Structure 1
Amino acid sequence: MTHALMLLQQCAYARVLCEFHRRRAPRGGSEGLVPTTADELVDSVRRLKACDQRWEGMRRMLGADDLARVRVARALYLQSMRRSAPARLGPWSDCCGVDCMPPSHLLEWVSYDLECMELADLEASMGPEEAALYACAMDRPT
């Protein structure tokens, strides 16, 4: 299970890098962020595809019960990341334009957005058993 969770996190980070580089892509004459090079964008897409392929291979090897536990554990991790968002994002607002945002902060915003979307997808696709496991785990004191 630990290997599957690590692989999911690698895939998530690869997704973040792709989106980060996409948002930093050159914009005709735009000031601010140093634009992503074509090589950086291509490398991030290649990395994401490789991660997705490794996850698909792992997913096919997992039994239904193991996959449910992995999905619930991932959702719990994403919940903890959501709770840490105020500390990670600080006083910045996503109303600020991308062009004036420091790269490290843009990376955090992209991470936060993708974590929220992944969590919503996981929660929406949980079967009854997964939802019950998830609810029980959410009710446990931390």
Structure 2
Amino acid sequence: MDISHDVFTMANLLGVSSSTVKKYYLLFEDNNYRFKRNVKGKVTFTNDESKLLQRLTVLKNEPGMNLKTAVEQLVQEAGVNQLQQQENVIKHESVMSERDQLFLQLHRETIELLAAIKEGVRSNEERIEELEENIDQRFKRVFKNLKTR
């Protein structure tokens, strides 16, 4: 289950001020990364986005890096990850679709078999009724013959 964090919670997790978190997420959004917002329009951060911001706080301090280039690199990485996730979802849906089709085919075949079984039972019940009627008629004839003797 993915937990959402607000700006204040993210600031505590990162050990920075709320305004710094706002600065970070605005830089991400300037680079076309979109964070979810709650019903009040406030930014919320998933666990993955929390990790993303934690990576930013480390990456921006590496030699040859600054805040802007670190954000650009992380956005690019996040975009690649997002594309991979979308591809995985599509593959999963394709497998599920095949599985669903097989299930539906098996379901249809089961219904057909059940209908055939019901027809067989109905036919057998009719045959049993005929045989019972024949037996009753034979018993009547036998009893009639016994009475007349």
Verify same fold: TM over 0.5.
no
Decide which structure has the larger Cα Rg and report it: 2
- Higher relative CO (Cα under 8 Å, sequence separation at least 6) belongs to 1
